[in-house]
């Protein structure tokens, strides 16, 4: 059976929590969306069982909440090849801001820009950099990013005094799983907690 655009999207991000609470995805009006929500619920339960915190009152832990917000933010990215979202929390677990990868705000890509996957790379502003532009050093204690930060972004994160990073996936390239980021080593040296969620 041919998948809908929405299903393909869910498959790609492998984490459809963001579909909850979106009024345009009213499950009573979309049969396929309802099935997806059930799938998302099962996945959410699975994540609760295997990850950092199991909440007795069955609500998202702060890391899970952060990652869900990061997933939603990734949806705003116009990059057709890689969509990364990020969120920053302050010391009281309040949201400072959300961000995603892309071109400078207000800039419109020239025609054909997105057709060359390799060429676009050097122009892309990573989600973590956009995120750090929203606050000053010391404001953010924890961030969540949908993909493990690259080496360069780890430097930015360290410069902004962020103490803890939750990330979703390792970096994948050419369809196979290979770690191209040395973030764990950088995090360890700088005393930043880097936790896969």
Name the site residues for Zn ion (rule: CB under 5 A). 126, 150, 153
Residues 6+ apart with CB under 8 A from 20: 37, 40, 68
Which stretches of the chain are DSSP H helices? 5-13, 31-50, 62-74, 117-120, 127-132, 151-159, 183-190
Min CB(153)–Zn ion separation in Å: 3
Q: Which is nearer to Zn ion, 60 or 99 (CB)?
A: 99
DSSP string for residues in 135-192? S-TTS-SEEEEEEPPPHHHHHHHHHTT--EEEEEE--EETTEE-----HHHHHHHHT-
Min CB(128)–Zn ion separation in Å: 5
CA distances from 104 to 66, 80, 109, 124, 191 (A): 24, 16, 10, 8, 31
Q: Which is nearer to Zn ion, 60 or 127 (CB)?
A: 127
Min CB(129)–Zn ion separation in Å: 7
Q: Which is nearer to Zn ion, 82 or 126 (CB)?
A: 126
DSSP 92: T
Contact present, 61 and 17 (Cβ < 8 Å): no
Min CB(194)–Zn ion separation in Å: 14
Q: Which residue is nearest to Zn ion (CB)?
A: 153
Q: Which is nearer to Zn ion, 55 or 152 (CB)?
A: 152
Q: Which is nearer to Zn ion, 19 or 73 (CB)?
A: 73
Min CB(182)–Zn ion separation in Å: 12
Distance CA 96, CA 88 (A): 5
Min CB(85)–Zn ion separation in Å: 13
Q: Which is nearer to Zn ion, 19 or 101 (CB)?
A: 101
């Amino acid at each position: 059976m041919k998948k809908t655009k929405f299903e393909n999207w869910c498959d790609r991000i492998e984490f459809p929590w963001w579909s909850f609470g979106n009024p345009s995805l009213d499950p009573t009006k979309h049969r396929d969306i309802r099935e997806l929500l059930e799938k998302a619920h099962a996945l959410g339960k699975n994540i609760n069982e295997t990850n950092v915190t199991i909440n007795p009152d069955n609500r998202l832990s702060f890391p899970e909440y952060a990652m869900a917000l990061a997933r939603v933010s990734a949806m705003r990215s116009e990059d057709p090849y890689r969509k990364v979202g990020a969120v920053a929390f302050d010391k009281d677990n309040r949201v400072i801001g959300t961000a995603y990868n892309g071109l400078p705000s207000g800039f419109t890509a020239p025609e054909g820009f997105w057709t060359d996957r390799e060429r676009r790379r050097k122009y892309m502003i990573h989600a973590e950099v956009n995120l750090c532009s929203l606050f000053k050093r010391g404001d953010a204690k924890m961030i969540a990013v949908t993909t493990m930060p690259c080496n360069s972004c780890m430097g930015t994160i360290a410069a902004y005094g962020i103490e803890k990073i939750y990330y979703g996936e390792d970096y994948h390239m050419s369809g196979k799983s290979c770690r191209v980021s040395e973030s764990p080593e950088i995090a360890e040296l700088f005393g930043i907690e880097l936790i896969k969620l």
